[in-house]
Every structure is written in structure tokens, then in C-alpha cells.
């Protein structure tokens, strides 16, 4: 799957038909999150993926991989952006249980709508709202540990702002996201559960500093809900480096701490992401 996506991405990026106008500044499309929406690594931002500006189309293809002690996560994702107003995304997640054996999979359909503002221009932040509809296709295990549903929808509101001339005369970026979710471990362990079968409100944040316009370093935080009795869910953090050599390509490398997942502790490790924009 990885090879096929990459070949497709390379073909698309070289095809003149797919050439977009790329009307926004470098890095303003951000990266592709593990849930497919444009953002950082684990937090969706108010920015819309690709470089489409008003009246333009754009899109991205991305492959993300996380390797922590007992698990691996693979994500293939695609996004489409029109008018820098609305973003559609699709992601397929495969979560490999290395020590237990087996896999968990889900598909995520996302939509994000820019409500207000521009991340670079003006004093106010860019504000977007979005929804992520998730369908778990391996529900036997989630069901066995107490999950209520095999599908669910997250709703979020995100505010993102860049300061061109921030501290140390560097460009800084900050994002705050509030999400309503029933998902257990993003939905890989289903939705709702024996402890709580209702929406939880969680907060997420990212802060980054551009060393220059091609390189960003930052941190992310994502609060997690607790719907299952069998194991406590823990909040996620990561520290990332993003590289935007051109508007076509973006690469991210992160050290991520997912702590205890499904009872297995110390799930820290590396995360990598490659994104092609067309």
C-alpha cells in the first residue's frame, strides 16, 4: 500500500494537469495528521491542507508511520481543498499490535470548514470547524473490551495563528483545538463504552517556531477521553521537526509519547510523515 501511494503521489506531483496555483505561502498548508485532516501530527489545525487560495483547488497525499514499543500505526491519507474554505479528507489507519498480535483498522472521513480569518494576515486567528466520521472495521476486539459502537463522529473547533515576527524575531505558530468525541484511542478501540457512552470534551494544542521558512520545531499535546473500564486512556504528547523544502513536499519527524495504550505502558517512539501536495 505504501509503495502504491508513493508512486501515485510522485506521478501526480509531476503531472501538469494536476498543477495547482499554490496561492498560499510556504508551510501554511501544514502537515497531514494521523486522522487525515490538515494540521500537525496528532492535532487538527484551523489551516486547510494544500496551498489552495481563494478560487483554487489543491490536495495532498500523505503517509504517516508511528513506531512505539508495542504498537505500530500506519496511516495513508488524502485531502482536497477548495477555495481555502473547505477541506475534505480521507484516512485509513492500521494499528498493529506487535506483542499481542493482530491489527485494528479504521477509515476516517473528514470535513473542515474555515469560518473566519487567515493564519498569517490580520490580528485574529484563523478559525475552522470540522468533523471526523470514523468507521472501525475490526470491531471484535473493541467490542470485547467494552466499546459500544463501531463508528462515531468527532466534532472540533480549531483556532490557529502565526506571528511573522514573534519572539527572537522568528515566525511562531500556535493552535488550540477543542474536540467533542466518543472515540476510544482515536476510534481504534471503538466509540463509547461501559464506563461512559457519551461525548467527552477534550482540548488539544500545538506550538511551533519556524527556524526559517523551511524548518519548524514544535510541541503538541492532545487530551484523551476515558470511556472504557478495562484500561485508562492517557493524554498524548509529541515534539516535532517539520521540513518544507518546497510547496510540493513536506516531511515531519517526531518523538512521540503515547504513554499507556490498552494497558501496555511506556509507548514512546518515533513518528514520521511524508506529504505530497498537488
Minimum distance, C-beta of residue 242 to other proteins, in the bound complex (Å):
16
Please say whether the beta carbons of 251 and 275 come within 8 A: yes
Residue 174's Cα: distance from chain center in Å?
15
Beta strands in 223-267 (DSSP E): 236-243, 249-257
Give, in order, the Cα–Cα distances in Å from 2 to each of 5, 8, 62, 216: 5, 10, 10, 26
* Pairing between β-strand 215-222 and β-strand 200-212 as defined by DSSP bridges: antiparallel
Q: What is the three-class DSSP state of 42?
A: coil
Cβ at position 7, least distance to other proteins in Å = 30
Residue placing its CB nearer to other proteins in the complex, 83 or 103: 83
Pairwise CA distance, residues 24 & 147, whole Å: 42
Compare residues 153 and 184 and give the one whose CB is closer to other proteins.
184
Least separation in angstroms between residue 94's CB and other proteins is: 27
Nearest distance, CB of residue 137 and other proteins, angstroms: 30
Residues that bind other proteins (CB under 8 A): 21, 23-26, 53-56, 84, 118, 120-122, 163-172, 174, 176, 203, 205, 207, 211-213, 219, 221, 223, 234-235, 237
Contact 154, 181 (CB under 8 A): yes
- Please enumerate in sequence order all residues whose Cβ is within 8 A of that of 221, keeping only pairs 6 or more positions apart, or say none: 43, 204, 205, 206, 235, 236, 237
For the bound state, the minimum distance from the C-beta of residue 165 to other proteins, rounded and expressed in Å, comes to: 4
Residue 89's SS3 state is strand
Rounded Cα distance between 98 and 82, Å, is 39
* 3-class state of residue 109 by DSSP: strand
Please, which residue, 150 or 220, has the CB nearer to other proteins? 220
Q: How far apart are CA 87 and CA 155, in angstroms?
A: 14
* Smallest separation (angstroms) from other proteins to the CB of 85: 12
Question: Minimum distance from CB of 159 to other proteins (Å)?
Answer: 10
Amino acid at each position: 500500500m505504501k509503495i502504491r501511494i508513493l508512486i501515485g503521489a510522485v506521478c501526480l506531483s509531476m503531472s501538469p494537469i494536476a498543477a495547482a496555483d499554490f496561492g498560499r505561502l510556504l508551510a501554511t498548508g501544514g502537515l497531514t495528521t494521523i486522522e487525515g485532516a490538515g494540521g500537525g501530527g496528532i492535532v487538527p489545525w484551523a489551516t486547510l491542507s494544500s496551498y489552495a487560495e481563494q478560487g483554487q483547488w489543491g490536495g495532498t497525499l500523505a503517509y504517516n508511520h508511528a513506531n512505539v514499543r508495542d504498537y505500530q500505526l500506519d496511516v495513508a491519507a488524502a485531502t482536497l481543498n477548495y477555495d481555502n474554505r473547505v477541506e475534505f479528507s480521507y484516512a485509513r489507519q492500521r494499528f498493529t499490535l506487535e506483542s499481542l498480535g493482530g491489527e485494528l483498522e479504521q477509515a476516517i472521513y473528514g470535513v473542515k470548514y474555515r469560518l473566519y480569518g487567515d493564519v498569517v494576515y490580520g490580528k485574529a486567528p484563523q478559525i475552522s470547524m470540522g468533523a471526523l466520521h470514523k468507521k472501525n472495521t475490526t470491531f471484535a476486539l473493541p467490542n470485547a473490551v467494552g466499546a459500544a459502537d463501531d463508528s462515531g463522529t468527532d466534532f472540533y473547533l480549531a483556532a490557529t495563528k502565526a506571528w511573522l515576527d514573534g519572539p527572537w524575531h522568528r515566525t511562531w505558530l500556535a493552535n488550540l483545538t477543542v474536540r467533542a468525541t466518543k472515540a476510544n484511542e482515536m476510534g481504534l478501540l471503538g466509540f463509547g463504552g461501559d464506563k461512559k457512552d457519551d461525548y467527552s470534551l477534550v482540548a488539544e494544542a500545538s506550538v511551533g517556531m519556524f527556524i526559517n521558512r523551511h524548518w519548524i520545531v514544535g510541541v503538541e499535546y492532545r487530551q484523551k477521553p476515558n470511556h472504557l473500564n478495562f484500561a485508562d486512556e492517557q493524554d498524548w504528547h509529541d515534539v516535532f521537526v517539520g521540513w518544507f523544502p518546497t510547496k510540493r513536499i513536506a516531511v515531519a519527524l517526531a518523538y512521540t509519547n503515547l504513554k499507556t495504550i490498552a494497558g501496555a505502558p511506556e509507548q514512546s517512539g518515533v513518528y514520521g510523515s511524508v506529504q505530497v501536495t498537488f
